[in-house]
Structure 1
Amino acid sequence: MTTAVAIQPNMPRPTPIPIAAARPRKQRSPSGKENLVTGKPVSNTVSPVANIRTRKERPCDACRRRKSRCVIHEGAVLCVLCEFHKQECTFVQSPLPRKRKVVDDGKRDSPNNQKKSRSVEAEPPPLALPTPTITATAPSPLPIQTSLTNQDLPHLGETLGLQRRQHSRYIGLSSPFDSLLIGLSHFDTRNESTFDLGTLRRVNDHECFIMLPDENTQDYADEADTLNLVEQIVHPHGPALLDIYFRTIHPSFPIIQKHLFVERYRSGDRTFSPPLVAGMYILALNWWSFDPNLAGYPKPDAARLEAIATKSLSLAMERPKLSTIQAGLLLLQRPEADSWSLTTQLVAIGQELGLHLDCSGWSIPLWERGLRKRIAWALYMQDKWSSLIHGRPSHIFGANWAVKAINDDDFKEEGDGYETRLEDSEEVHAENERGQILFAQMIRLTAIMAEVMDTFYTQVAIQDFANAGKNSTRLILDRAKPVQIKLKEWFAKLPASTRMDASTNSRLSSTGYLHLAYFATEITLHRRIVQSLDPSTADPYLLFICRSAAKTRLISAMDFVNRLKPDHLQAFWYFASKINFTLIGTFGSLLWATAPAHEEAEFYKTRLREYRWTLSVSSKRAEFLEYAVQMLDASRAMLNNLAEKPSLAQQISSAGVPPAAPAPTSSMGPPKSQGQQLQSPEDVEMHEGAELRRYPSASSFHGFANEGFDQIGASATGSRQGTAEGSAVGDTSRSN
């Protein structure tokens, strides 16, 4: 007997979301114009009684005479061809005799022939849940499959990207399907028009898709078997893993229509995308050991799940649907995932599905519009952050991106066809709201980060800076000011629920990945400035200001990592976080390598050693941080080849001026006053000597003082606060 066991967390984490057994659904008429598909009405005189099918693969009489494929859309009365020819669609004639082909005895029972003989349109058996709730269960035999008719499941035929047996492909303006010619076609009440190559699906007056059958794609008949294999690998813990997914990952990465998925799963729907379900299980397995009711059982084979998911995803790309993008995005969130090619494939598939378009006025269900926007923006973020961490060109351009900004309505779940559902508790509802705000803020930050990449890291920008020669730093500062202002304003306007000091109520909090992405964006900006500095030709004042601002950013980022709590470390981290942690160390190594004096180099060396220790300790709770540790070690190995830097005392002595203190510690001090530059050796002597007297020994050196940074109007942040509300980039360009 299967026993349901409630999940009791042994760490700060959200409480489980019970998903109760579905109550009988009441028949209701569609309500709300936004959930209806409007189009030109088509008069039908055929009684619906004539279209009651009592077989699984029997074509209608007319299609049998034509020897054509008989397709009836969900909820339709007539098959596609009979509706097109405006004729009766009956099933009264007997099958025509077939001529059998001669098959060699050695090949008759081959697996290939058995596979081809199987019907590709047969309804797969439903998935019977071992328990009425999605929660951890004791081991039990695989569930017995029971019959479930299509009438017991909500119809997805009105959707564009989630139909069960056909997929859509966007028809662009320059394609052979001219929009004027498409307008001459006759569209039925479903906004569809059938012709020899497929079915046209019009979503508004301008955009149109062609709907193609899944059965004509490779290995479509094996999807049900693949899904069964996925369930067998995690059985009987599939429901418990879904519980983990929806309370740990989904709130801050809401790319799945939660209630629709849960109700379909609970109702026994067996038409889920195998790579999507596998991706959800794979991510949830990262929290397996934290669950007391799962930790005692053998962990399912994640490597086997990944192999199945990868193979089935490549096949699903031949019949792309929204679930294809969802599956790919989830697989890319794995801590060990690092696939640039998969990201580019998903961008192409997203364009094929029309995710780059504005769907706000399309004749599709309202909930599907919101789902499409969430998936579109998740794909946008995947492309932009992949571009940053790989240092390669983005594939999404603003000129071809028409998706509207996300809003609260895009997260609604109503109108998916299920009359009854289990309402979330107030605590779960509040957690979902926090996650939605976090998701929306990450989208806005990504747009700013994309502007940084476009401004400083494109081939055109690189050539511009090279052509500027000695003035490259000033050119970079001029271009940096507008984007730095946007970054500062974004941080200042962050909602209270997304700040690091916001109360977590002993629940896991994913706000860490948002703030880490902010520091990565700032570092990416300052990194380009530091790379352009040349101590032999740069203005000493400009050199001081730029390196001081960069140091402030580095200290703030490192202290942010120091303050991460278990609530943050054990939560879901966005895929780019592994590299973003590494970028902090890379930036520190860059400042070490370019430090003009031995004392400053030693300061960065010490901070990097502390940062590595912090990452090593934190990796016990977040294993993906091991990658950042390894990259830090690799950078340290490269720095072994760095030539020994002269001390500050030696630099002053070489200028013919005796040192002002016996134990200098800083390469330069703050400027004398706002806007005043150090132009002569006397100026250098005066300010460096004052700084030396201020820091009499190397052991007391704590980095550059913030006075000079504040004097130019920057909003410097203390090293122990780490809020990093902005930097001095814009002001440095103004003061010079």
Structure 2
Amino acid sequence: MTTAVAIQPAMPRPTPIPIAAARPRTKKSPSGKENLVQAKPVTSVGPVANIRTRRERPCDACRRRKSRCVIHEGAVLCVLCEFHKQDCTFVQSPQPRKRKVTVDGKKEDNNNQKKSRSVDAEPPPLALPTPTITATAPSPVPHQQQLSNRDTTTLGETLGLQRRQHSRYIGLTTPFDSLLISLSQFDKRNESTFDLGTLRRVNDHECFIMLPDENTQDYGDEADTLNAVEQIVHPHGPALIDIYFRTVHPSFPIIQKHLFIERHRNGDRAFSPPLIAGMYILALNWWSYDPKLASYSKPDVSRLEAIASKSLSTAMQRPKLSTVQAGLLLLQRPEADSWSLTTQLVAIGQELGLHLDCSTWSIPLWERGLRKRIAWALYMQDKWSSLIHGRPSHIFSANWAVKPISDEDFKEEGDGYDNRQDESEEERMENEKGQILFGQMIALTAIMAEVMDTFYTQVAIQDFANAGKNSTRLILERAKPVQIKLKEWFAKLPDSTRMEGSSNINRLSSTGYLHLAYFATEITLHRRIVQSLDPTTSDPYLLYICRSAAKTRLISAMDFVNRLKPEHLQAFWYFASKINFTLIGTFGSLLWATAPAHEEAEFYKTRLREYRWTLSVSSKRAEFLDYAVQMLDASRAMLNNLAEKPSLAQSQVSNAGVPPQPTSQNIGLLQQRDVDMGGTELTMYQSGSSFQGFANEPFEQFGSESLGGDTPTSMG
């Protein structure tokens, strides 16, 4: 899906700001830098002949700042002079070196103090965690002196990380026709400046328009916003950042970790306000577990959330990768429940071209990896939001060209910080494990999305309605290939993502949210089958097989929840988890409500009582589980209106729970279905004696003893 670029000619615009590497200008400044494509000047013009006999010589302004002077190939001005819109001259003589050690040193110390204040009090707004490619407003010279010490050679090569510009994807049906764009004059950086902005061509097919941030609303207020965020958490910001990268980042790697940490440690505060606020908000969930922070008063989370929400809305007017990152982090809050924000992020992602294949774009390699990680995180956000809200997805496979995630997409080399703090072996293993977890969640999400597309679209619902009495058979036929994919996905899970291999008493483990998502997918599939069953019209053996398979899924999911350990419960849980826990209870209530006999209904009543108790106890370590408990209570209240079920003796179901021999037309389909739906993946979750369908023994045998431990005797 492409996004048209809305142009408002009536709005007055200043002179367009080209991205960092300025194109050679026709009007020559008598004191500017010219002809600097080679290491040494090839020609000289007028009074500026031989102005730079060697490439390392700084211009007058950079010499005064004592800053590194960087000139991109083919550019007229150095990076800092271009940024400050000033002449880049070479007419002043070098200052005496004694200037550094004379009494004027006191003045320099004052400047350093001013520099420190400028970083803390007036940080430039809206930047991604990268040292050289940030979205900043003009700032005091001392801060620019600090930034200039970074390697800025890739500044003009990035797409979504510009300092003072944002990009918007130009689709094929916009007024910017691709054929007309190809007639533009592009420089060596694939840029072409015209009255409305700067065209940026990333390959032969895709093109973006770069627009200045300063034309957007409240652009100048972001420094104050970031300052307000920092004041709320001061002086615990660094500790919270450490918690974030230790707890959240490994299994949700949508930020350039090393870049962000190095910038933060070096005093660079040019971060996106909603992004860093989102990081702080998530990290605060583990405040009481950190021995260095637990004794202090916890920062005001509600104030942080209010600032983050408002600043995110403002940032959406000049969308960058940091905008999507911030929105995704804010949606991971346990209490977050915003379908509208998810749809906004999808739209912003499409404006940024995140739905496209960037593997061959003329952008830095590390930015490609970052874009892919953010894109797949956005894909998962859309798909799981679609499931938990019961609404149509906004991402379709026909318009999704992002390549599968790979190990290369997690590498951060070449982004400007070559000197990195060495990770311990344990940290390295945790990051690798998290990357595998992230990749497996993407693969599972794709299968879950197929379940949604197969059974819950309006077209599918109408197909099943038109099938009438044959609707269950049609659903089973369509379910088989999806179920096989689920079974194969589970069988191929790496050892590091399996529950039995992920528990470590000294480390938190987020593996639980992956397996919970697996059960939620299974339940979403079986839920549709159970909904289609009609005891008055369905084949008795068909009814038995489907309900038996559903019952097995429910028991396995509940037993999985019962065996979660503290290192699982206290870890990072994906945003959909609180609903996925709830779906298990909803599925149990559905089976209770549709049970054909009193004994079966009592079985589900007992298991739901035990499940509620488990969630209630676990919520002491994972507060978001309170929501699942509340939803269980709501379902229980609805079931109070359920009519009394007949006993087995009174019902048409035999005492064995198995009706007479199935008809010949159903036996082939159902036997194969029984095999497909009873895969070996269930064995690792079942405790006690395994359940083998509707057995001869009374239902009470599947009571509290199958879970182990103490359980309550009455429903809350």
Q: TM-score range by the shorter chain?
A: 0.7 to 0.9
Which position in structure 2 is the counterpart of 1:440? 439
In 2: Cα distance, 1:313 partner to 1:40 partner: 33
User: Are 2:22 and 2:77, in contact at CA under 8 Å, matched by a contact in 1?
Assistant: no
Which position in structure 2 is the counterpart of 1:349? 348
Query: How far did 1:269 drift?
Result: 2.0
In 2: Cα distance, 1:40 partner to 1:404 partner: 33
In 2: Cα distance, 1:269 partner to 1:651 partner: 73
In 2: Cα distance, 1:296 partner to 1:167 partner: 42
The 3 A distance-change label for structure 1 pair 213 and 728 is: farther
Query: How far did 1:676 drift?
Result: 9.5
In 2: Cα distance, 1:74 partner to 1:212 partner: 21
SS at 1:607 equivalent:
helix
Query: How far did 1:185 drift?
Result: 1.5
User: Are 2:372 and 2:402, in contact at CA under 8 Å, matched by a contact in 1?
Assistant: yes
Alignment of 1:626 onto 2:626: yes
Residue correspondences, number: 587
Query: How far did 1:189 drift?
Result: 2.4
Query: How far did 1:73 drift?
Result: 10
User: Are 1:548 and 1:709, in contact at CA under 8 Å, matched by a contact in 2?
Assistant: no
Which position in structure 2 is the counterpart of 1:46? 34
C-alpha distance after superposition, 1:494-526 (max 9, x if no partner): 000000001433210000000000000000000
- Of 150, 155, 167, 1:153 maps to 150
Alignment of 1:126 onto 2:119: yes
Return the letter of the residue paired with 1:669: V
C-alpha distance after superposition, 1:429-453 (max 9, x if no partner): 1000000000000000000000000
C-alpha distance after superposition, 1:565-605 (max 9, x if no partner): 00100000000000000000000000000000000000000
The 3 A distance-change label for structure 1 pair 465 and 608 is: same
Which position in structure 1 is the counterpart of 2:222? 223
C-alpha distance after superposition, 1:530-571 (max 9, x if no partner): 000000000000000000000000000000000100010000
Which position in structure 1 is the counterpart of 2:168? 169
The 3 A distance-change label for structure 1 pair 207 and 255 is: same
User: Are 2:21 and 2:75, in contact at CA under 8 Å, matched by a contact in 1?
Assistant: no
| Equivalent residue runs for 1:303-452 within 5 Å | 303-452=302-451
User: Are 2:315 and 2:323, in contact at CA under 8 Å, matched by a contact in 1?
Assistant: yes
User: Are 2:549 and 2:674, in contact at CA under 8 Å, matched by a contact in 1?
Assistant: no
Q: Which runs of 5+ in 2 are unaligned?
A: 1-19, 37-50, 53-57, 63-69, 91-114, 122-140, 694-716
In 2: Cα distance, 1:78 partner to 1:582 partner: 61
In 2: Cα distance, 1:90 partner to 1:39 partner: 13
Which position in structure 2 is the counterpart of 1:251? 250
SS at 2:581 equivalent:
helix
| Equivalent residue runs for 1:86-125 within 5 Å | 125=118
Alignment of 1:468 onto 2:485: no
| Equivalent residue runs for 1:283-682 within 5 Å | 283-505=282-504, 506-651=506-651, 668-669=657-658
User: Are 1:161 and 1:168, in contact at CA under 8 Å, matched by a contact in 2?
Assistant: yes
In 2: Cα distance, 1:359 partner to 1:583 partner: 37
User: Are 1:159 and 1:368, in contact at CA under 8 Å, matched by a contact in 2?
Assistant: yes
**TM-score, normalised to structure 1's length?**
0.75
User: Are 2:483 and 2:676, in contact at CA under 8 Å, matched by a contact in 1?
Assistant: no
Identity %: 77
More moved, 147-156 vs 273-282 = 147-156
C-alpha distance after superposition, 1:142-196 (max 9, x if no partner): xxx9745231234343211111211111111111111122112122222211111
**TM-score, normalised to structure 2's length?**
0.77
SS at 1:193 equivalent:
strand
The 3 A distance-change label for structure 1 pair 392 and 318 is: same
In 2: Cα distance, 1:76 partner to 1:261 partner: 30
Which position in structure 1 is the counterpart of 2:679? 715
Structure number with greater CO (CA < 8 Å, separation at least 6) is 1
User: Are 1:465 and 1:476, in contact at CA under 8 Å, matched by a contact in 2?
Assistant: yes
C-alpha distance after superposition, 1:458-492 (max 9, x if no partner): 00000000000000000000000111110100000
The 3 A distance-change label for structure 1 pair 90 and 420 is: closer
Query: How far did 1:42 drift?
Result: 10
Query: How far did 1:669 drift?
Result: 2.7
In 1: Cα distance, 2:677 partner to 2:286 partner: 46
Return the letter of the residue paired with 1:265: H
Return the letter of the residue paired with 1:152: N
The 3 A distance-change label for structure 1 pair 75 and 127 is: farther
| Equivalent residue runs for 1:173-252 within 5 Å | 173-252=172-251
The 3 A distance-change label for structure 1 pair 173 and 672 is: same
Which position in structure 2 is the counterpart of 1:134? none
SS at 2:176 equivalent:
coil
The 3 A distance-change label for structure 1 pair 649 and 176 is: same
In 2: Cα distance, 1:526 partner to 1:291 partner: 42
Which position in structure 2 is the counterpart of 1:267? 266
In 2: Cα distance, 1:708 partner to 1:403 partner: 35
C-alpha distance after superposition, 1:215-270 (max 9, x if no partner): 11111111111111101100000000000000100000000011111122222223
Which position in structure 1 is the counterpart of 2:94? none
Query: How far did 1:671 drift?
Result: 6.5
SS at 1:348 equivalent:
helix
Which position in structure 2 is the counterpart of 1:28? none
SS at 2:200 equivalent:
strand
User: Are 1:256 and 1:326, in contact at CA under 8 Å, matched by a contact in 2?
Assistant: yes
Return the letter of the residue paired with 2:118: P
In 2: Cα distance, 1:170 partner to 1:677 partner: 53
The 3 A distance-change label for structure 1 pair 172 and 503 is: closer
The 3 A distance-change label for structure 1 pair 53 and 74 is: farther
SS at 1:648 equivalent:
coil
Return the letter of the residue paired with 2:685: Q
Return the letter of the residue paired with 1:366: L
Aligned alpha-carbon RMSD (Å): 3.4
Query: How far did 1:649 drift?
Result: 1.2
Query: How far did 1:722 drift?
Result: 3.6
Query: How far did 1:708 drift?
Result: 12
Return the letter of the residue paired with 2:546: C
Which position in structure 1 is the counterpart of 2:11? none
In 1: Cα distance, 2:241 partner to 2:510 partner: 18
| Equivalent residue runs for 1:53-72 within 5 Å | 54=61
In 1: Cα distance, 2:346 partner to 2:279 partner: 20
In 2: Cα distance, 1:180 partner to 1:228 partner: 46
The 3 A distance-change label for structure 1 pair 214 and 676 is: closer
SS at 1:443 equivalent:
helix
Query: How far did 1:673 drift?
Result: 8.6
